[in-house]
Chain A
Amino acid sequence: MTPPRNRKALVRPHVVTAGRARPSRNIFDLVTLVIATSGGVGPLTPEKRRIVTLCQGGALSVAEVAGHLDLPPSVAKVLLSDLVDSGHITTRANAPADPADRSAHERLLREVLDGLRARL
């Protein structure tokens, strides 16, 4: 699923962001969740289209979007804020820490931990 390493170098970030380094809005953290709105992908650049398509399945964090696209997170933020501006995606409030669900996720995390221990 992760594209081969050398693929990264083909389209350089300055072309991806059209030379911009500063996101149009400063609302993104690495863990900010983004989700696609119901609109279509329209005439977007390939990277933006991939983001929208990725986020149609549910919320994703900025770090994950950057990882999937194999782009630096700071570059992904520029694209994401463009997409928020154009109404293709929206940010989602961070999840409340719900004590009722806590044990289930502790179990999940424990499973992850055990799995990792078993492997490493």
Chain B
Amino acid sequence: MGQFLLSATLACLGAGLVVTALLLARQRNVTDRLRRRNAELADVLRLQEEELRHLAAVRLPQLRDRLEGRPVTVSGPLDERRIAATGLDKTMTAVMRLFTEAVESAKANAEQSAKGTLKAMMRTVQSLANEQQLAISDMQQRHDDPEVLAGLLRIDHMNAQLGRRAQATAVLFGSWPGQQRSAAPVVDVVRGATSRIRDYLRVQVSSEVSVAIVGRAVEPVVLAVAELLDNAARHSQPNTPVEVNFQLAHNGVAIMIDDAGVAMNSEEIQRASALLSGRDLGDIARLGDPPRIGFAAVGVLAARYGFTVSVDTRSPYGGVRAVVFVPNDLLTKVDDGQDAAPAAPAEPKTVPATRSAPGPLPRRRRMDAARDASADPAGPAAARPARPPKEVAAGLGAWQRGTRSGRAAAAGADPGNATEPASDIEGNERS
């Protein structure tokens, strides 16, 4: 019995041991697996942590720099293959996209409102400059003293520059150049542009061309040429000339502005060409300090009105040659009545002389003489002896007496307008 009990106990014990051993072995397996899994997870966690740290410390700052316009390449994840397996890369990409969108929309909003404010401000400045110009013109008409005129010319010059700066800034931020004008000869357009720059005395218009620019394009071309002239004058020695030449071509006319300053390097030319094409509008933040608005404004005008501007050639004097090419659709014929081509003088005088016939107002004889002159192919000089000088003198003397008595009667009235009532009335007759 005792023997049996002992063996039974031993058997149980043996079985128990076997079971325990089996359990232990299994437990060890499980633990091993868990440990491995744990290590893997820790690894992934570390990887993700590193990626996140990389995102915050490197990738987002790089993205910010690029969005601010600096030439930075934004780096990718540290270990692209492994992070792709975890699925975190999609989340990170989403974060970066959101970041980009947020920055861009904030920037666009800020730019929009800054542009709007600047545009409105510049429009105010511009209209004040225009008003001031009218006041100055009015004073120039009324004052005869050279001292006063000298002052007025200086004020006029400064006011013209002020107006130009305001206009260029407004144009850059989406405004129209304003100022409706009638068609003007190209030479006048260039001289009008010369009026608006600081060193206007250095500008030499050496050649001539007998085409005019259509009214709607006058102000834009004046503004563009003024910016280019100013640029040429500022980037060359103060004692060197800035030369303007014209070249009539099949498709239009080229206005060439040569300075004797320093040439631009290829990088500058590239930047300038991008601005002048009007494609790269540039934002306010990139204009620099002090802001360089000239080329950018010229580019906007050129793109909007259909002329082209290039600065990629050298001038004969080693500086820059800026070329404004105005195509034929922006050109028209020179109005003979306005531009005194030597052959044309008789025309404006002949017309009033014939017009005066039906009206009650007699014309001055000077006009008749002019008509004679126009009828004579030999020209005005040959026609002059046909009329007794005494008659001319007497006629003019009468006019003079009339002017004097008129001045005495209305002291302070502008005698320069003495001829104007007649032409006004003539205008009424025609209608």
Contact = CB atoms under 8 A, between A and B. Distances in A.
Interface of A: 1-4, 6-15, 17-19, 21-23, 30-31, 33, 38, 40-41, 46, 49-50, 53-54, 56-61, 63-64, 66-68, 72-75, 92, 94-98, 101, 105, 108-109, 111-112, 114-116, 118-119
A13 B359 contact: no
Interface in B183-205: 184-185, 187-189, 191-192, 194-196, 200-201
Given A6-B179, A38-B381, 5 more contacts: A59-B366, A73-B144, A74-B144, A94-B397, A115-B360
The secondary-structure label for the interface of chain B is helix
B398 A57 contact: no
Interface of B: 133, 137, 140-141, 143-147, 149-150, 152-154, 156-157, 160, 179-182, 184-185, 187-189, 191-192, 194-196, 200-201, 218, 222, 337-340, 342, 344-346, 348-349, 351-352, 359-362, 366, 369-370, 373, 379-381, 384, 390, 392-404, 415-421, 423, 425, 428
Nearest to B349: A57
A28 B257 CA distance: 37
Given A1-B423, A6-B180, A9-B137, A46 B346 contact: no
Contacts of A116: 361, 421, 425
A74 B140 contact: yes
A58 B392 contact: yes
A37 to B, nearest CB: 9
Given A9-B137, A11-B195, A57-B346, A119 B360 contact: yes
B348 A1 contact: yes
Contacts of A63: 403, 415-416, 418-419
A115 B351 contact: no
Contacts of B180: 6
Contacts of B394: 95, 98, 101, 105
Contacts of B146: 21-23, 74
Contacts, number: 199
Contact of A112 (B137, B338, B362): B362
A4 B188 CA distance: 15
A84 to B, nearest CB: 16
Given A1-B351, A14-B195, A57 B149 contact: no
B340 A53 contact: yes
Contacts of B421: 116
Given A10-B181, A112-B361, A72 B398 contact: no
